């Protein structure tokens, strides 16, 4: 199987950590994705991740989309169509992971609460990033954030409700019972492991790889690559938290597995065809990306993958979304 | 998914009436219209056809702020609705395997074509009873069944006028 996830040298990781928004345009997305897995034998602490956030925070209003507009107009219709199918999953996905964080604050460790404030702010900024892209580049009108979300809803798959609806319902259960370890494990598996750690870090590579290789959409590339670096912190914090839950009660691994079985059952179909070829990808390559990201996350948390879950993963037809 | 308007026509069943419940039973068992099927790819409908025989549950759909019987209960055996009734929410809560609850406004919007995916993700209908993981293993069966129900022409109580 071809390797689509790259390893990252320590020097590159150090450089990536200190790059500002202006430098994001020249950062390779493969390095950012690999950055998630640097030093996973000892995941960074929540306060260290919070300090990284303070150093890496970027202003979404500093992005300039002027060249993106002309690039977008010049793209082939087939490429624009595939791009919209994927980017819209993130437009809505970022909104969803923003609004679903609230109830998690109550039942997590105190240091994680500090870091989670930055996670929440990141997700709001990512939602605004896509709001700006859809308004200023794609040309979706609207007075409010929701107007623009409604405008791009036409491009997302009906199966988006699978993982993101599950997250919404799990969040509501957590709101009613915020200290329940079973619910916390189900929630963290859905949100941090699957949506952020597997889906987002796989699917974001498709549009970013296209923008990088075609040398187009520089505002989108810079903003979404910075978004990817933010996600790296969230995933590291989330994997640390899952490890802690398992340390406290190893029996919770069954909840993790059951949640994955549900997510994979939902991810074995799609309601729309997406042609990846206009962006330089194939369905098999995307499936391999997802399998590699999944394997790396399971390694990060030190959990074996049962054979039936491996079989389900091999048949995945993923929702093209993330958050 | 539906574009039908809630109508004032008294010949049309009221939401949460026995006639509407019977129409819901028939709509879920009938499945999507050819036009609705054509909007999504075969792989998606095959997934639903595959999970449908495994669905054995009492599915509750309720409007918490509707006066009188306000919970539709559909008894589903091997994916076929065999019984439909409208009961009080407390009764529905006690009997439903899965209970999704919204307010009257949400049901009015659904009957006017509000997207069923948004109804879940934007919290217009919440799962108040049932194992959420088991519910989602057959998620698209539920969303398409809800889409079939929302196609039923129905009247709803008038929206409250702000004081």
**Distance (Å, rounded) from C-alpha A128 to C-alpha A90?**
11
What pLDDT, on the 0 to 100 scale, is given for residue A40? 59
Task: Say whether pLDDT at A123 is over 70.
Answer: yes
pLDDT range class, residue B160, cuts 50, 70, 90: low
User: Min CA distance, A52 vs chain B (Å)?
Assistant: 31
pLDDT range class, residue A240, cuts 50, 70, 90: very high
**CB proximity under 8 Å: B 21-50 to A:** 40-41, 43-44, 46-47
Task: Say whether pLDDT at B8 is over 50.
Answer: no
What per-residue string of b and e applies to A236-275 under the rule 16 or more CB within 10 Å gives b? bbbbbbbeebbeeeeebbebbbbbbbbbbbbbbbbbbebe
Identify the three-state secondary structure at position A195. helix
Q: Select the more confidently predicted residue: A97 or B156.
A: A97
Q: Select the more confidently predicted residue: A287 or B94.
A: B94
Report pLDDT digits (tens) over A124-138.
Answer: 999 999 999 999 999
What pLDDT, on the 0 to 100 scale, is given for residue A28? 84
Q: Answer whether A193's CB lies under 8 Å from A243's CB.
A: no
Lookup: tokens for A94 = 């970022």
Listing DSSP states for A115-172 in one string gives HHHHHHHHHHHHHHHHHHHIIIII----SSHHHHHHHHGGGS-GGGHHHHHHHHHHHH
Task: Say whether pLDDT at B2 is over 60.
Answer: no
* Chain B residues within an 8 Å CB radius of A258: 133
pLDDT range class, residue A2, cuts 50, 70, 90: very low
Q: Which of A292, A296, A304, A227 is nearest to A37 (CA)?
A: A296
Q: What is the CA radius of gyration of chain A?
A: 18
pLDDT range class, residue A25, cuts 50, 70, 90: confident
What pLDDT, on the 0 to 100 scale, is given for residue B163? 58
Q: Give me the mean pLDDT over the B133-154 stretch.
A: 96
Partner residue opposite A165 with nearest CB, options B43, B134, B139: B139
* Chain A residues within an 8 Å CB radius of B120: 161, 165, 168-169
Task: Say whether pLDDT at A5 is over 70.
Answer: no
pLDDT range class, residue B10, cuts 50, 70, 90: very low
């Amino acid at each position: 199987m071809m390797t689509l996830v790259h390893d990252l040298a320590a020097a590159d990781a150090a450089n990536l950590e200190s790059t500002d928004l202006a430098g994001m345009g020249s950062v390779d997305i493969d390095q950012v994705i690999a950055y998630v897995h640097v030093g996973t034998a000892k995941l960074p602490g929540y306060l260290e991740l919070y300090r990284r956030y303070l150093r890496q925070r970027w202003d979404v209003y500093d992005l300039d989309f002027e060249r993106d507009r002309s690039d977008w107009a010049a793209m082939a219709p087939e490429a624009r169509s595939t791009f919209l199918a994927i980017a819209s999953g993130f437009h809505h996905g970022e909104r969803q992971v923003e609004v679903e964080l609230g109830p998690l604050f109550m039942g997590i460790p105190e240091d994680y609460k500090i870091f989670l404030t930055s996670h929440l702010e990141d997700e709001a900024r990512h939602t605004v990033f896509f709001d700006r892209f859809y308004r200023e580049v794609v040309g979706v009108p609207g007075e409010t954030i929701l107007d623009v979300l409604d405008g791009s809803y036409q491009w997302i798959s009906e199966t988006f409700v699978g993982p993101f609806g599950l997250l919404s319902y799990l969040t509501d259960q957590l709101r009613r019972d915020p200290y329940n370890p079973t619910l916390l494990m189900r929630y963290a598996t859905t949100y941090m492991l699957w949506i952020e750690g597997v889906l987002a870090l796989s699917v974001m590579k498709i549009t970013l790889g296209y923008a990088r290789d075609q040398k187009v959409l520089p505002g989108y590339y810079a903003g979404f690559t910075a978004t990817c670096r933010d996600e790296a912190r969230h995933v590291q914090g989330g994997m640390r938290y899952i490890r802690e839950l398992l340390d406290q009660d190893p029996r919770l691994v069954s909840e993790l597995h059951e949640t994955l079985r549900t997510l994979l059952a939902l991810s074995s179909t799609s309601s729309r065809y997406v042609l990846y070829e206009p962006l330089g990808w194939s369905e098999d390559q995307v499936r391999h990306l997802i399998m590699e990201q999944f394997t790396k996350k399971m390694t990060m948390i030190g959990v074996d993958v049962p054979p039936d879950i491996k079989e389900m993963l091999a048949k995945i037809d993923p929702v093209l979304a993330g958050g | 998914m539906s574009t039908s308007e809630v109508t004032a026509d008294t010949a049309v069943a009221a939401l949460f009436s026995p006639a509407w419940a019977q129409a819901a039973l028939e709509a879920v068992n009938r499945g999507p219209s050819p036009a609705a099927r054509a909007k999504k790819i075969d792989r998606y409908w095959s997934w639903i056809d595959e999970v449908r025989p495994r669905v054995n549950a009492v599915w509750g759909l309720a409007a918490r702020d509707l006066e009188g019987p306000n919970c539709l209960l559909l008894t589903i055996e091997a994916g076929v609705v065999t019984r439909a009734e409208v009961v009080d929410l407390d009764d529905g809560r006690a009997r439903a395997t899965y209970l999704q609850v919204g307010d009257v406004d949400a049901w009015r919007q659904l009957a006017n074509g509000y997207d069923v995916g948004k109804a879940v993700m934007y919290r217009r209908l919440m799962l108040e009873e049932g194992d959420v993981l088991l519910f989602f293993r057959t998620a698209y069966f539920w969303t398409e069944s809800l889409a079939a129900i929302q196609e039923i022409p129905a009247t709803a109580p008038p929206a409250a006028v702000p004081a």
